[in-house]
Structure 1
Amino acid sequence: MLKKLLSLYKNSYLLTSLPEKPLESHFVFFDGSSNQWISIPKEMVSDKEVHLLNTLFELVEYHPSQSSLGEDWHRFLLQNGPVPRQAFDGQYRFIQFHINGNAIDHQEIEAALKGFFVEDVVIVWESSTDGVVVEAKKQISLSDEELVSISETLESDFFIKTSFYIGKLYYFSTELPNQFLQEKDFFQFGIQRIVNTPILTYERVFPAYLAAHLPKELKQKISKDMIELFVHDPELFDSIKVFLENNSNASLTAKKLYIHRNTLQYRLDKFVEKTGIDLKDFYGAFTVFLACQLFEQES
């Protein structure tokens, strides 16, 4: 099987032992039946092909090379290691990132990321495509808008799409790894379930996370009339969801949907007429937004 792959992927090669320092530009897969490894250039493999190969063979994950401080934080956050050097008793936050792409130069990405921060930050690589910026709270941090700008810059300069999760501020303690792992769980959920959103936060992810983990009997109590309305009118669903996500701001919602404000108002009035739910009421808006999350996930 591996020999056949050699003919499919140019510049790939077989290995009889696992390399200690593999090329960052290659994927390495292990075939247990032949006890061999194959190294395939990342640029030759699409994301779908990586997934397929990973079902047939074992993808060998390597942690990219990182600074000594990065190694300290990696051990502390992910391996139950000791307190990192230079850690202080102030506040920290974690900005996680996920890169959609294969041929990634980690040194270039790291240099680009650090260039956006005024203070020194530590970057910890968890895998070839995932990492976290460890930021000490010493002054005003980057805003959501600035992180959107970073994402756009990385896409234009390196032709990669990047998703970020902006964590909460935590005082340094031995609980920090558990707090980080909780945020990591939210981030993994967000990048799988929430589309077209480069910047994720706890507030953005938790409603969808809550909807996904509701017991089946509670999910069934969501108004069937509302769900059926969304099923038969996808444009109405999009309008309601974007309207609620933008703090019920009709002008901003119409702009994001590329429709006239009167068209949006017609759709909002139609929804209120059909369901009897007042979108201007907090409890009504909350109930509808939860229904939107459930409908989107079920769809």
Structure 2
Amino acid sequence: MLNKLLALYDGAVLFPKKPDRPSESFHVFYNQHENEWIGIPKGCITDQEFMLLKTLYEWIEFPIIPSSDLSKRWYEFLFTNGQPPSCDHDIQIRFIHFYFKGNDLDQTEIESALKGFFSEDVIIIWENGNSGILVEEKNQMSLPEKDLFTMSETLESDFYAKSFFYIGKFTPFTKGLSSQFLREKEYFTFGQNHLTESSFFTFQRVFPAFLTVQLPDTLREMIHQELSGVFNEDPDMYFTIKTFLENNLNASLTAKKLYIHRNTLQYRIDKFIEKTGIQLKDFFGAFTVFLACLLFEHRSK
């Protein structure tokens, strides 16, 4: 099957076995049924073709081993169950996971840009050609979440590539730090797959939806029967209410984001309250409705 791709892409190469190291020139794909590997020059594949090939075949991602000794120790600690690179328990660490969507990304330039926002001392570990982790120590210069969001927007405009970030929380440096890293990595993957309208994630942003997906079917159905019917009748109602809750019940900000008059927003809110009997400005009511919004969103997908 992969033989046919040789005629489509000049310079494509079939391998007798899986290559043991990454190539800067080729994307490597694996056909499980034929037990074949093919390398296709990166410059020959458009983004659309790359996504199609990843759907048809397994894209082989090679780990990128860091060059500096400290980065190698971090890599071994996080990915191969190695020893912690420090024993100072007074240090607080956070992981910032990132992913840049696109082909032929210049990792050197991306690293330089990231260090411009943090410091030259920040540890950057690449998992593959598109994703990696920043390891940051807590200090007076640590960027707040708002500035990190601005950073992600700036990088997108500089590199013309969609970016995704998960901002981890600061944690004391202990052996359990690797478990924290794996949990955050799971949340980041979940966010990219399920919260497709967003590209900037934190624990509090991801976990409600993560929890919703884990609910037993019986509980999901109960919430659906109580509230989701309103959203089925009027999908605009769902989007309005969810946006209102996500903006901390701020009517002016919500109306601005929805491009509607504030009176129109209030009419929709009043209509929702009338149909459900739930007051959104009550904490328990807001929590229940937000849970229903997440379930409706997940069910719709």
- TM-score if structure 2 supplies the norm length? 0.91
Corresponding residue number in structure 2 for 1:288:
289
- Give the CA deviation at 1:37: 2.9
How big is the shift at 1:82? 1.6
Corresponding residue number in structure 2 for 1:240: 241
Query: Residue deviations 1:239-284, cap 9 Å, x none?
Result: 1001001110111111111111111111111101111100000000
* Shift in Å, 1:156: 1.5
SS at match of 2:152: helix
Whole-Å separation in 2 of the counterparts to 1:232 and 1:45:
44
Question: Structure 2: how far apart are the matches of 1:142 and 1:234?
Answer: 38
- The separation in 2 between residues aligned to 1:25 and 1:285, in whole angstroms, is 52
Corresponding residue of 2:178: 177
Return 5+ residue gaps in structure 2 as ranges.
none
Amino acid at match of 1:261: R
The 1:133/1:251 distance shift into structure 2, 3 A limit, reads same
Distance change (3 Å), C-alpha of 1:219 and 1:19: closer
Contact 1:144 1:199 in 2 (8 A): no
Match of 1:268 in 2: 269
Distance 1:26 1:275 in 2: 56
Shift of 1:58: 3.8
| Identity among equivalent pairs (%) | 53
Letter in structure 2 aligned against 1:130: S
The answer to whether 1:116 aligns with 2:117 is yes
- 1:150 to partner: Cα distance: 2.0
Deviations 1:104-127, CA, capped at 9 Å, x for gaps? 121111111111114621011112
Contact 1:25 1:104 in 2 (8 A): no
Range that drifts further, 251-260 or 142-151: 142-151
Match in the other structure for 2:41: 41
Tell me the residue number matched to 1:9.
Answer: 9
Most deviating of 31-40 and 119-128: 31-40
CA distance in 1, matches of 2:86, 2:23: 29
SS of 1:94 mapped into structure 2: strand
Contact preservation (8 Å) 1:24, 1:64: no
State the SS of the aligned residue for 1:146.
Answer: helix
- CA shift at 1:47, angstroms? 5.5
Q: Which residue of 2 aligns with 1:187?
A: 188
Matched residue SS, 2:163? strand
Unaligned runs of 5+ in 1: none
Q: Deviations over 1:190-240 (max 9, x none)?
A: 111112222111000111011100011111111525211111211111110
**Partner residue, 1:148:** 149
Q: Does 1:59 align with 2:27?
A: no
Q: What's the CA shift string for 1:16-66, capped at 9, x where partnerless? A: 455454333421123467665321133544566445534654432112353
Structure 1 residue 2: deviation in Å? 2.3
- TM superposition shift of 1:144: 2.2
SS at match of 2:215: coil
The 1:16–1:183 alpha-carbon spacing in structure 2 relative to 1, beyond 3 Å, is: same
Q: 1:261 to 1:55 in 2, by over 3 A?
A: closer
